[in-house]
């Protein structure tokens, strides 16, 4: 079992190593001048140095705060609204057209307005992250909760469960696989959007670091935040995967 898991991890690492190898090859064989594309070794060395730098850690912290706050608000709203819409037809009638209008909207287009409303600090970025992560979570919660097998509900009702408790005792737990799938998509989107928001206008955070380095042609420093956010994304996704595995331990493999 554990050797099989090890092989899966190794298999997953291979394509990443392949990308790094191409990157290294581009530098080694002179296809890209080192001033424009620094070799990966240099970038990772710089990253290691930066991890001892308090200023850099503050930037990571700022990004993480925005990412988590935005993502968690999106989870609460998305799951709440999604479940409510699946159970109460009146709520569905109100939510459905709103979702249809708002979901395809490029949320980043609202960002200038959000800055005017909430300022340059955390609030505007958290709001943007929430807006972008909300819809995948809401939609998958709604579909998961709508597709709950009728006979699970009947079994619970016959066992004496009051109708108002069915939402929490049957529908929400039965929809958990879909809810967590939505959360996983929402988390990836959160990573992208928080970085994007910081690139557009910010005074700190990883996205801000990247833009600052790019403006002064410090190419090594430009790649460090990029690698950092993808490593953070990898770790967060791993955490969520573990949580999912624990919460869904009774469900058939999905």
Partner 1 sequence: MRGKVRKLSPPSERQATGGRMQVPLRPEIDTGTGATSGERARAMIEIASVSKRFETSGRKSHLALSDINLTVNDGAFVSILGPSGCGKSTLLYIVGGFVAPSEGVARMKGAAITGPGPDRGPVFQEFALFPWKTVLGNVMYGLRQQGVKRTEAEAQSLRLIEMVGLKGFEHFYPKELSGGMKQRVAIARTLAYRPSVLLMDEPFGALDAHTRTRLQNDLLNIWERDRKTVLFVTHSVEEAVFLSDKVVVMTRAPGRIKQIVDIDLPRPRIRAELLLDSHYQKYVVDIERMIDDGRDDAEHS
Point out which residues bind partner 1 (CB under 8 A): 149, 151-152, 154-161, 170, 173-174, 176, 248-252
Q: How far is the CB of 158 from partner 1 (least distance, A)?
A: 5
Q: How far is the CB of 45 from partner 1 (least distance, A)?
A: 47
CB 144 within 8 A of CB 123: no
Say how far apart CA 144 and CA 138 lie, in whole Å: 10
Which residue, 30 or 160, is less far from partner 1 as judged by CB? 160
Q: How far is the CB of 79 from partner 1 (least distance, A)?
A: 16
Q: How far is the CB of 178 from partner 1 (least distance, A)?
A: 13
Which residue, 18 or 154, is less far from partner 1 as judged by CB? 154
Q: How far is the CB of 244 from partner 1 (least distance, A)?
A: 13
CB 200 within 8 A of CB 170: no
Long-range contacts of residues 121-127, Cβ cutoff 8 Å, at least 24 apart = 122/62, 122/65, 122/66, 122/69, 124/197, 125/66, 125/70, 125/194, 125/197, 125/198, 125/202, 125/205, 126/66, 126/69, 126/70, 126/73, 127/70
CB 136 within 8 A of CB 96: no
Mapped onto helix, strand or coil, the DSSP state of residue 158 is helix
Q: How far is the CB of 146 from partner 1 (least distance, A)?
A: 17
What radius of gyration do the chain's Cα atoms show? 22
Q: How far is the CB of 155 from partner 1 (least distance, A)?
A: 5
Which residue, 52 or 160, is less far from partner 1 as judged by CB? 160
Is the alpha carbon torsion for 195, 200, 205, 210 positive or negative?
Answer: positive
Which residue, 172 or 213, is less far from partner 1 as judged by CB? 172
CB 148 within 8 A of CB 87: no
Say how far apart CA 225 and CA 228 lie, in whole Å: 5
Which residue, 79 or 206, is less far from partner 1 as judged by CB? 79
Which residue, 31 or 164, is less far from partner 1 as judged by CB? 164
Say how far apart CA 212 and CA 217 lie, in whole Å: 9
Which residue, 87 or 95, is less far from partner 1 as judged by CB? 87
């Amino acid at each position: 079992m554990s050797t099989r898991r090890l092989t899966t991890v190794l298999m997953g690492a291979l394509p990443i190593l392949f990308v790094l190898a191409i990157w290294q090859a581009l530098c080694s064989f002179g296809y890209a001048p080192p001033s424009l594309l620094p070799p990966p070794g240099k970038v990772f060395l710089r990253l290691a140095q930066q991890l001892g730098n308090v200023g850099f850690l503050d930037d990571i912290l700022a990004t993480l705060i925005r990412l988590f706050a935005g993502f968690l608000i999106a989870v609460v709203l998305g799951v709440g609204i999604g479940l409510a819409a699946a159970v109460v037809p009146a709520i569905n009638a109100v939510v459905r057209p709103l979702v249809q209008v708002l979901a395809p909207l490029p949320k980043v287009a609202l960002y200038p307005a959000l800055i005017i409303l909430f300022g340059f600090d955390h609030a505007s970025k958290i709001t943007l992250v929430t807006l972008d992560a909300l819809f995948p979570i809401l939609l998958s919660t709604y579909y998961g909760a709508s597709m709950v097998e009728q006979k699970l509900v009947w079994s619970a009702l016959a066992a004496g469960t009051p109708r108002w408790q069915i939402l929490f005792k049957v529908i929400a737990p039965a929809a958990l696989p879909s809810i967590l799938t939505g959360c996983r998509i929402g988390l990836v989107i959160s990573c992208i959007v928080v970085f994007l928001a910081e690139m557009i206008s910010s005074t700190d955070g990883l996205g801000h670091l990247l833009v600052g380095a790019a403006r002064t042609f410090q190419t090594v420093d430009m790649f460090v935040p990029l690698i950092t956010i993808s490593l953070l994304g990898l770790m967060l996704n791993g955490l969520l995967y573990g949580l999912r595995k624990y919460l869904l331990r009774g469900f058939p493999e999905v």
